[in-house]
Amino acid sequence: MTEILMPVRLSDSIAATLASRYTLHRLWEAKDQQTLLADIAPRIEAIVTAGSILASGMSFMVDAAFIQRFPKLKLIANHGVGYDTIDAAFAATRGIMVTNTPDVLTEETADTAFGLVLNTVREFPAAERYLRAGQWLGGPYRLTASLRGNTMGILGLGRIGKAIAKRGEAFGLRIAYCGRSQQADVDYPYYATPQALAAACDILVVAAPGGVQTRNIIDAEVLKALGPRGFLINIARGTLVDEPALIAALRDGTIAGAGLDVFAQEPKVPDAFLSLDNVVLLPHVGSASIETRQAMADLLIANVDAYATGGQLLTPVAECMLARPPEQ
């Protein structure tokens, strides 16, 4: 029977389904993880993990050193579209396939992004705090900025970025974008750098992948370019934003506000954010609806089943597309 390692806790239903079909090793439950790993590593064919850890509150790097511990490893299945905690390029060189869960979470995550846009620009959470504190009795909540007529700049116009753009157009926003290259079939204005995009937009939405290539891509210079009437929204990964620079920019009015679903050291959120009123904070709930999480779980399990039955993997990541299918 195929032996699978789950290094971190995913949902109980994913673990139960996998355990009913395969031999599942729950690493996070082991008292002595190194002893367990030494025992099972020679037999493990698949690792099932998640980039942002759903239940355990800790992330786990499936890096080259970890991957090399498993001589029979053929599949790393990720719960989530972002797989920046997996060294997929290294895995591909070893003929190990990596799968993720794209598309099924696109609309949910775009909804979350747009919820953050509305809440940040129109200050709904702060207005609600005002009401709950009884301050309305003393006068109306202050007027806020508006969405219409402004430009939304999207850093990373991929599946989720495009779904956010569609919502932005419906709300009367102009759309612009930045990526590593201009997309031939996209009519939105293209900016070659995050700084140029920030200078051209009012609401900068970050929707590009995490990882070394995008670390701190939103830095002090980008925030300065966004300007005192600008808003930053991040639903991608916390690592894309230089958090100390963002805290300074929110404090001194370099930008107007921010809406964040993701943080560099989840689930730890810098205290400075908690004490600022011009930032809206969410605990990484981008895809966190019952239906979407079920669809992600189904796709994750379908990839494992495809591997175990010698079928075609449903959603291999780009780094593995050119790699040969795993030998059984």
Please report, as ranges, the residues that interact with ligand NAP according to CB under 6 A: 81-82, 102, 105, 109, 155-161, 179-181, 207-210, 213-214, 235-237, 261-262, 284, 286-287
> Of 17 and 52, which CB lies nearer to ligand NAP in the complex structure?
52
- Count other C-beta atoms under 10 Å from residue 295's C-beta: 17
Q: Pick the catalytic residue: 3, 107, 221, 266?
A: 266
266 is annotated as an active-site residue: yes
Residue sitting closest to ligand NAP (CB):
158
> Of 7 and 156, which CB lies nearer to ligand NAP in the complex structure?
156
Q: Is 213:189 a contact under the CB 8 Å cutoff?
A: no
- Count other C-beta atoms under 10 Å from residue 102's C-beta: 18
CB of 301 to ligand NAP, least distance (A): 18
> Of 94 and 215, which CB lies nearer to ligand NAP in the complex structure?
215
Q: How far apart are CA 137 and CA 257, in angstroms?
A: 26
Side chain identity at 57, as an amino acid letter? G
CB of 76 to ligand NAP, least distance (A): 16
> Of 2 and 78, which CB lies nearer to ligand NAP in the complex structure?
78
CB of 82 to ligand NAP, least distance (A): 2
If DSSP states are collapsed to H, E and C, what string results for 41-56?
HHHEEEEEEECCCCCC
Q: Pick the catalytic residue: 9, 167, 237, 293?
A: 237
> Of 179 and 230, which CB lies nearer to ligand NAP in the complex structure?
179
38: left (phi over 0), alpha (psi -120 to 50) or beta: alpha
79 is annotated as an active-site residue: no
237 is annotated as an active-site residue: yes
CB of 172 to ligand NAP, least distance (A): 23
CB of 162 to ligand NAP, least distance (A): 8
β-pair partners for 174: 151
Residues catalogued as catalytic: 237, 266, 284
